[in-house]
Amino acid sequence: MRVTILGGGGFLGRKLAARIARDGMIGGKPVTALTLFDIAAPPLPSAPFPVHTLAGDIADPASLAPALPSGTDVVFHLAAVVSAAAEADWTLGLRVNLAGTLAVIEACRGMPDAPRVIFTSSVASFGGGQDALVQDDARQLPSNSYGAQKAAAELLLQDASRKGFLDAVSLRLPTIVVRPGRPNKAASSFVSAIVREPLLGLATELPVADDFALFVASPRRAVDWLLHASAMDTAPLGLDRGVNLPGLTVTVGEMLAALEAERPGASALVERKPDPVIAGIVSPWPARFTAERARRLGFATHEPMGDIVRDFVVEDLEPTRRERAL
């Protein structure tokens, strides 16, 4: 099985690559080659099979072509311009999030056998805000450019699947917490920061109220979902290739309580500082999803918030500290 991870240099791409390298197989089938592609060449994991790392522009077909050679079986399409960045630079968001997806479709279209393509969409493609409970058949009505670009890309992948160019599964990921490394330009960056930074001994700002609810998922569970989507039977999906995942609904206050339980006194480093720009982007995002279809399809349910914080401390705290020279 030949596998490509587009966006392989991001934190989720690196975790996915490490898991594949460790397991050596996906869905019981051995991996024979892994290609990691990003704007800068991703780090090379140690694996029992050949691993290739490539740098390039996902929206440039010539640049993308070496990452998707004929015979590729599975493509994880994680490459994206994140929410606040896509809102601030509409042209860049369109180029990466939409034109990049079109380039992926065209590359797959030229293969003799349709590859499985797992696309990371987002709960930001929905609206409704704090009071919404999103059903599996809910209409996507994004209130931000990032969500609109993700929803548009989903439709293109759905149609490409219908045409037989590829076999897509679009996973509408919750906000991932706790992200290792440094803060990024996502509007939801604060969600990880209010846990990660205090655990590093650093102060951070909270732009929303303590009772603000979020729909989240851990990096570990996100990787589980990606791998499940790469090996599942897609026939039950039919035409609808988008899946709302069984994440965890949690308030900011509950996150801070989990932080405090793990590291007493750490939550004192979180400063309440309202930010209307960030709040304006994240407030329309719904925090509750039924996700019944995902459970029927075999996607694992989520662990509690305390486990998420504990896993970050065990797996990612020291690597993050070293990366940031703290």
Residue pair 12/176 in contact by the 8 Å Cβ criterion:
yes
d(CA 240, CA 102) in angstroms, rounded, equals: 19
Q: Is 80 exposed, middle or buried (0-12, 13-18, 19+ CB in 10 A)?
A: buried
Tokens of residue 24, six digits: 């050596």
Q: Which of 119, 146, 165, 215 is catalytic?
A: 146
Q: Dihedral sign, CA of 49, 8, 26, 118? A: negative
- Whether omega before 51 lies within 30 degrees of 0, making that bond cis, reads no
Annotated active-site residue 62? The verdict is no
List Cα–Cα distances, 260 to 203, 256, 265, in angstroms. 14, 6, 6
Smallest CA-to-CA distance from 135 within 240, 231, 281, 213 is with: 240
Residue entry with tokens 């399809």:
297
Task: List residues with catalytic annotation.
Answer: 146
